[in-house]
Amino acid sequence: MSGNALALTAVPLFRSEAEELVVAIPEQGMGFPLLSQPLERFGFEDHGSYTSIRVETPGTWRWSTVDAAFLSNILQRLDRPGEKLTLSGLPAELASLLELARATPRATVPESGARPCITARIGVRTLARVAEAKAFVNLVGEVVLCIPRFFLGAAKVRRAELIEVLADSSSRALLIVAIVNVLMGAILAFVGAVQLKAFGAGIYVANLVGIASVRELTPIVTAIVLAGRTGASFAARIATMQGNEEIDALTTLGISPVEFLVLPRVLALSLLMPLLYVYACAFALLGGLVVAMPTLDISTTAYMAQTQQAIAAANFAIGVLKALVFGALVALVSCHYGLRAPRSAAGVGSATTSAVVASIIGVIALDAGFAVCANALGV
């Protein structure tokens, strides 16, 4: 702070005349050093009985935003709710600026009240989940309406985008799908061998691995792998576009985000999941074979013949149907959370996490529904 500024801080700028507060502006104005000082240092006293403020200005004074901020601070200290002090002695431009500032409501910090009761919290969460479910159903409906346009060649989909999504949903996932399913088949064979060997029924390990893999575990495990790999990628990419306002730009250009972004991902994952399922089944059976041969001393021919005899065509049909539905579910859930992500970096992470968790839960819940239906139909 300069010497002049330090000297000015000792000069009283306020005086009271009955119910009027008089503010004397220095020759050179307030300046930033003085603006940072508390008003009491200049002789300010808030008695609460002022009805007007009169500003005395020097003849050569030219006001600046610093002076406006200083006077605005005084008004904030003295204005009472429901009544405003009259202001005089200022240039018309400065007076208009201060009136505009006084008309703007002050930002208030909400008071932290008592925590809502558990019933209210449950109600709020329930309403949020209902709104989430409604938005998801709307998304499914929009995708279904866009499918005919896609196959007629009228959908607004970039070919490069479609090829990228197809690669991300198939060839780039082959290695992880193979590793997970080989290990799953090996674990099933090892657990079955330990139990069945005691009864002299080791050959039935092929039945256990074949039926469990083809009908239940392979579609579930493959869907979970794709939910954590491909689904998370879908959610993160769309959430990033949402944060960068690219989704809004598409809407402004008259392009449906559902048709441009969601439709190719849903179709790609739905159509390629059955192929990945067949691929994963081969590796699951291979994993069982690798463990059963040395553990139970079973030949490759005997193991494959027993597997072929155990697995019925209905098991493959159920597995393919599950893979188709699981693929569509993972893509829809991932895109849904991506489109509804908050516009921030943290929103991308929360959308990705929610997409993966919801996809896994949805896959398991749907598989339970398939099991109930298959049991009712006697398949």
The pLDDT assigned to 7 comes to: 47
Range with the largest mean pLDDT of 163-167, 197-201, 273-277: 273-277
For residues 262-286, average pLDDT: 92
Laid out side by side, the sheet with 14-17 consists of 14-17, 20-24, 52-56, 86-88
Residue 77 lies in a domain: yes
The answer on 89 and 207 residing in a single domain is no
pLDDT band at 5 (very low <50, low <70, confident <90, very high): very low
Task: Say if residue 67 is in the same domain as residue 198.
Answer: no
Provide the β-strand partners of residue 55: 23
What number is the average pLDDT over the span 287-309? 88
CA distance 266 to 329: 8
The domain of 76 spans 3-103
In a domain, 52, yes or no: yes
If asked whether residues 75 and 215 sit together in one domain, one would say no
Distances (CA, A) of 211 to 129, 164, 218, 309: 37, 34, 10, 11
Per-residue pLDDT band at 286 (split at 50, 70, 90): very high
Across the chain, mean pLDDT equals 83
Q: Is the pLDDT reported for residue 14 higher than 70?
A: yes
Instruction: Give the chain's end-to-end CA distance (angstroms, integer).
Output: 88
State whether 353 and 272 are in the same domain.
yes
pLDDT at 109: 52
pLDDT at 112: 54
Share of the chain above pLDDT 70, in %: 88
More confident residue, 41 or 294: 294
* Number of domains the chain contains: 2
275-284 tens-digit pLDDT: 999 999 999 9
For residue 269, what pLDDT is reported? 92
Task: Report if residue 230 sits inside a domain.
Answer: yes
User: Given a cut of 70, is residue 311 above it in pLDDT?
Assistant: yes
Residue 109 lies in a domain: no
Q: Within a domain: residue 242?
A: yes
Extract the tokens encoding 355. Answer: 């997409």
Q: Which residue has the higher pLDDT, 280 or 108?
A: 280
State whether 173 and 69 are in the same domain. no
Predicted pLDDT of residue 186: 92
Q: Tell whether the model's pLDDT for residue 246 goes beyond 50.
A: yes
What pTM was estimated for this model as a whole?
Answer: 0.67
**Mean pLDDT within 167-183:** 89
Q: Is the pLDDT of residue 245 over 90?
A: no
**Predicted pLDDT at 108:** 56
- Specify whether 298 is located in the same domain as 353: yes
- What is the pLDDT confidence band of residue 37, given thresholds at 50, 70 and 90? confident
Share of the chain above pLDDT 90, in %: 31
Same domain, 28 and 77: yes
Half-sphere exposure of 176 toward its Cβ, with a 13 Å CA cutoff? 16
pLDDT, tens digit, 9 for 90 and up, residues 56-102: 777 777 777 777 777 777 777 777 666 677 778 777 777 787 777 76
Q: Which structure tokens are listed for 360?
A: 């896994």
- Verify that 150 and 225 share a domain, yes or no: yes
Q: Does 184 share its domain with 94?
A: no
* Reported confidence tier of residue 149, pLDDT bands at 50, 70, 90: confident
In a domain, 296, yes or no: yes
Instruction: Using pLDDT thresholds of 50, 70 and 90, give the confidence band for residue 12.
Output: low
- Whether residue 257 is contained in a domain is answered as yes
The whole-number pLDDT of residue 81 equals 66
Distance CA 237, CA 297 (A): 50
Q: What is the mean pLDDT of residues 325-351?
A: 91
Domain termination residue (choose one: 88, 103, 118): 103
Mean pLDDT calculated for residue range 354-361: 94
Indicate whether 162 and 246 sit together in one domain: yes
Q: Please, which pLDDT band fits residue 6 given cuts at 50, 70 and 90?
A: very low
Q: Within this chain, do residues 176 and 313 fall inside the same structural domain, yes or no? A: yes
Residue 59 has what pLDDT?
Answer: 72
Domain assignment of residue 232, yes or no: yes
Specify the pLDDT at position 4: 47
Integer angstrom CA distances of residue 159 from 150, 164, 173, 250: 12, 9, 21, 17
Q: What is the mean pLDDT of residues 141-161?
A: 86
Residue entry with tokens 């690219």: 246
Looking at the fold, whether 196 and 277 belong to one and the same domain comes out as yes
